[in-house]
Structure formats: structure tokens, C-alpha cells
Amino acid sequence: MLRQMLANLQEVVLGTKLAVLFPAIPLAVVADFYNFGRPWIFALSLLGLAPLAERVSFLTEQIAYFTGPTVGGLLNATCGNATELIIALFALHQNKIHVVKYSLLGSILSNLLLVLGTSLLCGGLANIRKEQRYDRKQADVNSLLLLLGLLCHLLPLMLKYAGGIGNSTALYTLQLSRASSIIMLIAYITYIFFQLKTHRELFDSQEEEEEEEETAVIGFWSAFAWLVGMTIIIAVLSEYVVGTIEAASDSWGISVSFISIILLPIVGNAAEHAGSIIFAFKNKLDISLGVALGSATQISMFVVPLSVIVAWIMGIRMDLDFSLLETGCLAFSIIVTAFTLQDGTSHYMKGVVLFLCYLVIGACFFVDSIPLNETTGNLGVKKSSGALTA
């Protein structure tokens, strides 16, 4: 038993190159216990989340070996973005609707522009004398779902501007957002059924390439126990992140929007980012697209509407109005990604364009700022005019 425990410890904790970041987890707990500077707690918690997010994905894959493709696919669909979901739930509990919307928006932008862009760039450079090809059908399905999600974000925003500022318009926007969230969840459930049952052949080639005769390295109950334990640790660190984000923003002189939209997703998607680039280097673009587009679709069509529904249950007025600037960035990102993937071929120039788009959006949110004392209000509040002069 001791030998098995040590073997599991080696596979789960030391089986990733991000293991060097695991010491940040106890350091974050110690920093909180001894009341160190809140920016230090935020930074250590953020670093600790990176290996945990990667290990959760690893453990769900291990469980999938024992449960079969259908249950394994459902498990990956629900746990694939567990870090973002847990952070959103803690932010909702503290009524920090800004942090919820910003972090989820940032995850979508990061997957579409940063993860996919750098994957196409690195894959194109590594295979510069080859024409990289991928199956358009899978990309088309994800693009359609992202466009549906974009419509559900645009309609509350347009309704707000069409109806003017007022309590009645805010109520209608909220009701429309809740109805749209239910429709988005129905669409995502249909997508899961489409992917796992009726049209599995569209995704089979990707799964066959990725598996390559791999087998489970730890047992089912060991993987389940590790998954529960790491989820609890993610919950603790997420609470630290949400509770100290304003203090870190004030101390570092960086806006809450930039931290939530840029820094949080980069750390949370670090493992997916690395995996996607590795597959692109190996000229396996179908897997890279599955990682980037699949994660973006999951956030847009599952985590975002689920957050609205959970907020509704908690009595919190969260809607799908992500404000004009944020929704505009989301719309542009989805459209440019759809255009990039329309011909079924890739080269490094496509990756360059996507990556530069992400840099421009990051620069926009770096100079954009909101008053820190308004971070718990509605995302549609007026932006601070002192961002550039600060």
C-alpha cells in the first residue's frame, strides 16, 4: 500500500513540469494565516492554481479510462474548466460580478487568440515546408456555438441601449439574460450529445491520435480521491484570489479588468496552452483546435450561462451584458477566429495575426480602468477617465 501511495504521488504531483509551482500552495496558506501582504497572497494563489488546473485535467483523463468514452466525455466537459467555474462561484458568493464576467471573458479570449494563435504560429514555424491541414467540420461546429453565445451577449447590450437607462430596462435585460442562459445550456447539452453520440466520427480521429494506445497509470479510486482533494485545494486558492484581487490591483497599479481578463486566464490555461503548442509542433492541428476551441466553447456556452443561473438562485442580479468594450472584443475575437479557420489549412501568419490581436486587446484593458470601489456593481458602469493619466 505504501509503495502504491508513493507511485501515485509520483504520477500525480511530480508527473508534470509545472510541479515546481506546487510549493506556492502551502506558501499561500501560510501567507494568509500570518496575515502577510494581500498582494503576496494573490500572487502565490495564482501560481498555485496553474499546476492544479493541469492535474485536474490529467485526473479526469485517468478516470475516463475506466468509465468509458461517454461518461469520460461528460466528465471532461464538466471538469475541463473547473478552475474558472470555482473562481466564478466564489466571486458570485462575494457579489463581485465584475470579477466573474471579466475572468470568464478573459478565458474565452485567451483560448481563441493566445492559445490558438501561438499554436498556429509555433506549428507553422516547426512545419514551415509542409502544408498543415485540419478537419473543418469540428471547427465549424464550435464556431457556430460561439456565434450563438455572442448573440446572447449582444441582445441584452442592445436592449439596454435601445431602452435607455432605467429600472424597467435593467429588469428586462436581466430577464432576457436568464432566458438566454437557459437556451445556451440547452445548446451545450445538445452539443455534448452531438459529440458523444450521433456524430462521434467527427471527433474520433482527434481522440485516436491523442490516445495512441495509452493506458491508465493510476487506479480509478486513487484518481477520484486525488480529484476531490485537488478540487478542494482549488476552492481554497480561488477564495484567496477573489478576496485579494482588489488589493493586488491597488498595490501593483494595474486595473482589476487587466488582472481578471489577462493574468487569470493565462495562469489558468497554462497547461492547455502548453499541450496545444506541443500537438501543433507534431503537426496534429485537429487536437490543438480541439483544445483551444473546445475550451472556449465550454466557457461561453456552459460556464457563463451556468454562472447566471447560479446567481439567479442566489438572488444576485447577474446578466449577460458584458458592457460595450468587452462585448466588442469578444465579437471581434470570434469573427476573426472563424475567418482564420474557414479554409482548413494553416500557416504561421495566421498565428501571428491572432497573437497580435490578443496583444492589442491586452493593451486596451491595461490602459482601461474602473474605480476599485465599484468592482461589485454592474459591469455596465461608467469607466474611469483617469486610466491613461495614471
- What pLDDT band is residue 377 in, cutting at 50, 70 and 90? very low
Q: Residue 74: pLDDT above 70?
A: no
Q: What's the first-to-final CA gap in the chain, in angstroms?
A: 59
Tens-digit pLDDT profile for residues 136-177: 888 888 899 999 999 999 999 998 888 766 667 888 889 999
C-alpha angle 91-228-98 in degrees, rounded to nearest 5? 10
C-alpha closest to that of 116 among 263, 285, 268? 285
DSSP secondary structure, 146-163, as one string:
HHHHHHHHHHHHHHHHHH
Question: CA–CA separation, 227 vs 77, rounded Å?
Answer: 15
Q: What is the largest CA-CA distance in the chain?
A: 67
Predicted pLDDT of residue 371: 45
Question: CA–CA separation, 227 vs 214, rounded Å?
Answer: 20
Cα distances from 30 to residues 177, 233, 245, 384, in angstroms, run: 41, 14, 18, 35
Query: Residue 255 has what DSSP assignment?
Result: -
Contact 322/153 with Cβ under 8 angstroms? yes
Predicted pLDDT of residue 327: 92
Tens-digit pLDDT profile for residues 233-254: 888 888 888 888 888 888 888 8
Tens-digit pLDDT profile for residues 303-345: 999 999 999 999 998 999 888 899 999 999 999 999 988 888 8
Predicted pLDDT of residue 337: 92
Cα distances from 331 to residues 148, 150, 216, 296, in angstroms, run: 11, 6, 40, 13
Residue, of 108 and 290, whose pLDDT is higher: 108
C-alpha closest to that of 47 among 99, 83, 96, 101? 83
Which three cell numbers, joined as nine digits, stand for 310? Answer: 447560479
What's the rounded mean pLDDT across residues 84-97?
Answer: 87
Which three cell numbers, joined as nine digits, stand for 279? Answer: 500537438
Q: Residue 78: pLDDT above 70?
A: no
Burial of 194 per CB tally in 10 Å (0-12, 13-18, 19+): middle
Average pLDDT, the chain: 81
Helix or strand (DSSP H, E) at 49: helix 38-67
Residue, of 80 and 294, whose pLDDT is higher: 294
Tens-digit pLDDT profile for residues 355-369: 999 999 999 998 876
Q: Which residues, in sequence order, are CB contacts of 168 under 8 Å at separation 6+?
A: none
Cβ neighbours of 382 (radius 10 Å): 9
C-alpha closest to that of 100 among 365, 330, 377, 381? 377
Question: CA–CA separation, 266 vs 149, rounded Å?
Answer: 22
C-alpha angle 177-179-181 in degrees, rounded to nearest 5? 65
Helix or strand (DSSP H, E) at 262: none
Contact 102/261 with Cβ under 8 angstroms? yes
Q: Residue 386: pLDDT above 80?
A: no
Question: CA–CA separation, 146 vs 108, rounded Å?
Answer: 10
Q: Residue 101: pLDDT above 80?
A: yes
Question: CA–CA separation, 64 vs 58, rounded Å?
Answer: 10
Query: Residue 303 has what DSSP assignment?
Result: I
Q: Which residues, in sequence order, are CB contacts of 198 under 8 Å at separation 6+?
A: none
C-alpha neighbours within 13 Å on the C-beta side of residue 188: 24
Query: How long is the chain?
Result: 390
Residue, of 193 and 382, whose pLDDT is higher: 193
Q: Which of 10-19, 56-65, 71-80 bottoms out in mean pLDDT, i.e. has the lowest?
A: 71-80
Predicted pLDDT of residue 379: 45
Q: Which of 88-92, 214-218, 239-243, 340-344 bottoms out in mean pLDDT, i.e. has the lowest?
A: 214-218
Q: Residue 18: pLDDT above 80?
A: no
Q: What are phi and psi of 305, to 5 degrees?
A: -65, -35
Question: CA–CA separation, 255 vs 233, rounded Å?
Answer: 27
Q: Judge if pTM exceeds 0.95.
A: no
Residue, of 60 and 71, whose pLDDT is higher: 60
Question: CA–CA separation, 251 vs 358, rounded Å?
Answer: 25
Q: Residue 186: pLDDT above 80?
A: yes
- What pLDDT band is residue 214 in, cutting at 50, 70 and 90? low
Query: What are the start-end ranges of the E strands in the chain?
Result: 132-133, 345-346
What's the rounded mean pLDDT across residues 122-133?
Answer: 82
Question: CA–CA separation, 55 vs 74, rounded Å?
Answer: 18
